[in-house]
């Protein structure tokens, strides 16, 4: 199956320049690249969809190049932005680039050979180019009219609804010229003939192909340059994909824990999951169709979402991280052992439950009846009498143990991580933290 055929059945293909399919078929292996913005120390779910374009490029027998925009990251891409972004210093960008490269190495094969992946940084060539030289040798080949015709520029200049009416600075206006030169440089140095990206990057990508064509004509030589874009990943309702209730879903476990990451995919809507499993996993079409058929028999079991969440969590994090996330996800409903959870995961698991903080000094002479009523502002039970009734009917457990008496001293209870108690009343859980 060709690259475009693979992307098409997965719902990932958006557009390509005429001749791209033929070029891929007759010139293998070709070199293709995608640029990544280093304005954060980690990539996120939206970037993962783009990474998968490079993964499929390599699986189709071609050479993937990931360009980390150390230079263009100092400028800022106006595509999809409503206002000027904050500019980062070189030290911050270098730190971010290191984190991004480590994440890319989880998905691409960087071994030696004609299809071995590369990571390049455009700061390495832009730092040697002077302003006057760039204008003379590159800038003269594209007209202002051509650059202003790009949708990303027109929206900002026009002050459309939702955009900053102050327009666009020369800094961001020049971004497409810089990104276009990236393609020129890689075309000359690595014989890179394909640039890929999300569909909102079409304007910047085609600037590169046009710049290559014009420079080649000016130098009386032939150069090949093609463009391919993937679909933007959105939810079934059309909203942007990749945000959770707590914000962006990152690939770095320090920013989004494996448990949170797993839960994000596990909680995918039935309307979204069929597309997500095609985009984010490498499962074959027959495998996915079989999973979907099984899911349809009993959607409540979330067979599709579980397969999706497992596959992506293992590839982004590890098998061990998936197993830990799975065990943690079973704590509330599947009888998993929360006593074995580390503190960060414990807080993740109980993030959606009532979390009550109690001064540790007040708990010294307190019994369970007081703790579960007045001390927790009656958020667990309204009175000591209600606590006694539930305890008599074996209706309350603390840290998995049934409470035998309302007179049990809080000081006799073993605290998780020296400060937490997990209370279960019926099917409801409460987290008490002593501060």
Beta-carbon contacts of 123 under 8 Å, excluding residues fewer than 6 positions away, are 70, 71, 90, 93
SS3 state at 123: helix
Q: How does residue 315 score in pLDDT terms, banded at 50, 70 and 90?
A: very high
pLDDT at 79: 52
Residue 76: its pLDDT value, please?
A: 56
Alpha helix (H) residue ranges in 121-272 = 123-126, 131-137, 144-148, 151-158, 170-173, 175-190, 202-218, 258-266
Place of tokens 């020296």: 418
CA–CA dist 148, 139 (Å, integer): 14
Structure tokens at 393: 């009917």
CA torsion sign for 105, 111, 117, 122 is positive
Bridge-based pairing state of the strands 192-198 and 31-36:
parallel
Cis peptide before 29 (omega within 30 of 0): yes
Helices and strands (DSSP H and E) totals, the chain: 19, 13
Backbone phi and psi for residue 147, each to the nearest 5 degrees, phi listed first = -70, -35
Does residue 96 contact residue 74 with C-beta atoms inside 8 Å? Answer: no
The single residue listed with the structure tokens 């026009």 is 158
pLDDT at 240: 75
Tell me the average pLDDT across 303-318: 97
Do 200 and 49 meet the contact criterion of CB atoms below 8 Å apart? no
Say how many residues make up the chain: 435
Quote the CA–CA distance of 328 and 310 in Å, as a whole number: 13
Where is average pLDDT lowest: 25-34, 165-174, 242-251? 165-174
Side by side, which strands form the sheet with 396-398?
A: 354-358, 428-434, 420-425, 396-398, 401-402
Find out whether 67 and 121 touch, Cβ atoms under 8 Å: yes
Distance between CA atoms of 221 and 202, rounded to whole angstroms? Answer: 25
Q: Which residues contact 153 (CB under 8 A, 6 or more apart)?
A: 78, 147, 168, 173, 176, 203
Q: How far is CA 106 from the centre of its chain?
A: 14
Cα torsion 329, 333, 334, 337: sign: positive
Q: Where are the domains of the chain?
A: 3-230, 243-329, 349-434
Q: What residues are paired with 409 via a beta bridge? A: 367
Look up the CATH superfamily of 349-434.
Answer: RNA-binding S4 domain (3.10.290.10)
Per-residue pLDDT at 167: 73
- Euclidean distance between the first and the last CA atom of the chain, given in angstroms as a whole number: 59
Which residues touch 369 (CB under 8 Å, ≥6 apart)? 384, 387, 388, 406, 407
Residues 6+ apart with CB under 8 A from 218: 141
% of the chain with per-residue pLDDT over 90: 60
CB atoms within 10 A of CB 359: 10
Query: Which of 76, 79, 83, 78 minimizes the C-alpha distance to 39?
Result: 76
Instruction: Count CB neighbours of 295 within 10 A.
Output: 21
389/392 Cα distance (integer angstroms):
5
Q: b/e per residue, 176-192, with b = 16+ CB within 10 A?
A: bbbbbbbbbbbbeeeeb
Average pLDDT value over all residues in the chain = 88
Class of domain 3-230: alpha beta
Q: Which residues are CB-neighbours of 228 under 8 A, at least 6 positions away?
A: 4, 13, 15, 16, 17, 20, 32, 53, 194, 195, 196
pLDDT tens digit sequence for 343-370: 989 999 988 889 999 998 888 889 999 9
The half-sphere exposure of 190 on its side-chain side, counting CA atoms within 13 A, is 27
Give residue-wise pLDDT tens across range 7-29.
999 999 999 999 999 999 988 89
**Average pLDDT value for residue range 379-407:** 93
User: Structure tokens of 394?
Assistant: 């074996």
The answer to whether 411 touches 418, Cβ cutoff 8 Å, is no
Closest Cα partner for 3 from 115, 79, 112? Answer: 115
pLDDT in tens, 151-209: 777 777 765 545 555 677 777 787 788 888 999 999 999 999 999 999 988 888 998 99
Architecture of domain 243-329: Orthogonal Bundle (1.10)
Q: How far apart are CA 325 and CA 322, in angstroms?
A: 5
pLDDT in tens, 123-154: 889 888 888 888 888 888 777 887 787 777 77
Alpha carbon 125 to its chain centroid, in Å, reads 28
- 3-class SS of residue 49: helix
């Amino acid at each position: 199956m060709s690259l475009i055929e693979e992307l098409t059945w997965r719902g990932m293909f958006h557009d390509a320049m005429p001749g791209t399919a033929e070029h891929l078929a007759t010139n293998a292996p070709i070199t293709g690249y995608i640029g990544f913005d280093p304005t954060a120390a980690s990539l996120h779910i939206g970037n993962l969809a783009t990474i998968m374009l490079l993964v499929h490029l390599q699986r189709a027998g071609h050479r993937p190049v990931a360009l980390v925009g150390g230079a263009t990251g100092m400028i800022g891409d106006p595509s999809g932005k409503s206002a000027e972004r904050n500019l980062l210093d070189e030290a911050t960008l270098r730190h971010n680039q290191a984190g991004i490269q480590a994440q890319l190495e989880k998905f691409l094969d960087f071994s030696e050979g004609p299809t071995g992946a590369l990571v390049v940084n455009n700061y390495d060539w832009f730092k040697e180019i002077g302003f006057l030289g760039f204008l003379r040798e590159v800038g003269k080949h594209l007209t202002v009219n051509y650059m202003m015709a790009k949708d990303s520029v027109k929206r900002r200049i026009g002050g459309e609804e939702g955009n900053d009416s102050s327009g666009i600075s020369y800094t961001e206006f020049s971004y497409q010229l810089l990104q276009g030169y990236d393609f020129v440089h890689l075309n000359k140095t690595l014989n890179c003939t394909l640039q890929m990206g999300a569909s909102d990057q079409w304007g910047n990508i085609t600037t590169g192909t046009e710049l290559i064509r014009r420079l080649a004509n000016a130098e009386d030589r032939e150069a090949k340059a093609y463009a391919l874009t993937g679909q933007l990943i959105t939810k079934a309702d059309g909203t942007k994909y990749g945000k959770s209730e707590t914000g962006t879903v990152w690939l770095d476990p320090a920013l989004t824990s494996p448990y949170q990451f797993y839960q994000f995919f596990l909680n995918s809507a039935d309307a979204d999951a069929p597309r997500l499993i095609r985009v984010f996993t490498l499962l074959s079409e027959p495998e996915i169709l079989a999973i979907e058929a099984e899911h349809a028999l009993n959607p409540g079991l979330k067979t599709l979402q579980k397969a999706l969440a497992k596959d992506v969590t293992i590839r982004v994090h590890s098998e061990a991280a998936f197993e830990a996330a799975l065990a943690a996800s079973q704590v509330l409903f599947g009888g998993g052992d929360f006593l074995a959870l580390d503190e960060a995961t414990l807080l993740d698991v109980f993030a959606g439950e009532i979390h009550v903080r109690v001064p540790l000094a007040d708990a010294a002479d307190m019994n369970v009846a007081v703790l579960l009523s007045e001390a927790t502002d009656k958020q667990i039970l309204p009175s000591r009498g209600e606590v006694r009734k539930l305890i008599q009917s074996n209706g309350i457990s603390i840290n998995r143990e049934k409470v035998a008496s309302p007179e049990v001293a809080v000081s006799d209870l073993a605290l998780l991580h020296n400060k937490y108690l997990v209370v279960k009343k019926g099917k409801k859980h409460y987290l008490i933290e002593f501060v």
